[in-house]
Chain A
């Protein structure tokens, strides 16, 4: 494979159309990285044969850590020697994914020296993903990363790298400081992040409002989603300005409110805030006129996961409202009880959401010492899945 370019007939299809293409990007990197031809060649082979040619490595990592490196080996190393080892390193991203250009250059230079130079910014875990290196390069790369102030992220049965939306850095809707919370939790649980103590993975994701830009409700074992307790802030002059500019407030705002709790008489918008479920629709539709209330905090939800061992789950409400300034303490206290319960009863590779389904929400709440509340429902107007003892 040394000089000639590999034929990538099937992969070339992925360069067509108006979208960014990883094939195009890897081809561009050929000039600087010797692994690209073998990488494309092996993938083309997989497309032809309809089988994967990566093997999972079990023990590669850096000294003392049980996570952050995902071992990969080619099962056709004779054909593609440059990707015989192709380990991934997960690097813990800064909260909200903010970098100085200098930090980005530092990261890229480290990876040019120790790996393929190919990165994925960012993986769905949130981490900076360094794609492809050899076992011998792991320790030197880790050393340079830590000297530059970076650390590895999580993999395996540990607390995974927490992630957060940009929150207060850019977004006026943030009901708590998501970036700070993400950073604080990352530091608080360094041990759980680097030394896998759990039956399986555990993810925290922090969204500043119910728009849930990091999709925590679908992806995090503990989802922290900003919300407010008082009334939506309303600016009538701006409401009128939206109407004047042609927004159909009746149809597009009131008509799409899930609880139909808004009224528009052609001049004045009235919101029955008691019935509002904080879905963000009206605020998204009229950002200059409406805003989350002033009494801000977050809802804690538990148990989401993507399908791996079992099917996908969305997280469900654990604590309906925690004021922003009590959030850190509440999470710490609650999570220690949740982790204790999961440690005790979780089966190997059982996510906490699956454990709750297996033992029942009622038993779970009992064990962690929380009282059931009406907000713990799968959907409005649905049956609560809490069974009170007296009725049993």
Chain B
């Protein structure tokens, strides 16, 4: 593997941060982007899965539901009452 899982998580985090508010990313989108960047032989789907898990378990990212499930930064719930 060309990068460590932590590095991978960091890159995914940056992607989520940059696209936040413009485009919602799914787990599959992050995985595809990373594999495209590092090449199929260098990175597996499982590596990406572990990186996503790091993001979730640390609370840096959360799963959000907008019809389907997306990965976003933690944010205030839009529909929650004040």
Contacts and interface: CB of A to CB of B under 8 A. Distances in A.
The A contact surface, by secondary structure, is loop
B53 A73 contact: no
Contacts of A348: 26, 68
Interface in B32-65: 45, 49, 52-53, 56-57, 59, 62-65
A196 interface: yes
B81 interface: yes
A191 B57 CA distance: 13
Interface in A51-75: 55-61, 63-67, 71, 73-74
Interface residues on B, range: 20 to 34
Given A55-B79, A58-B78, A343-B28, A67 B69 contact: yes
A166 to B, nearest CB: 31
A158 interface: yes
Interface stretch (A9-17, A197-205, A226-234, A275-283): A197-205
A199 B62 CA distance: 17
B80 interface: yes
Question: Do most interface residues of chain B lie in helix, strand or loop, or is the interface mixed?
Answer: mixed
B80 A57 contact: yes
B65 A59 contact: yes
Nearest to A73: B79
A195 interface: yes
A71 B26 contact: no
A199 B32 CA distance: 13
Interface of B: 26-28, 31, 45, 49, 52-53, 56-57, 59, 62-69, 72, 74-75, 77-81
Given A155-B65, A196-B63, A196-B68, 18 more contacts: A56-B65, A56-B79, A58-B64, A58-B65, A58-B79, A59-B64, A59-B74, A73-B77, A157-B26, A195-B52, A196-B69, A197-B27, A199-B26, A199-B68, A343-B28, A343-B31, A343-B45, A348-B68
Interface of A: 55-61, 63-67, 71, 73-74, 77, 84-85, 135, 155-158, 191, 195-200, 343, 348-349
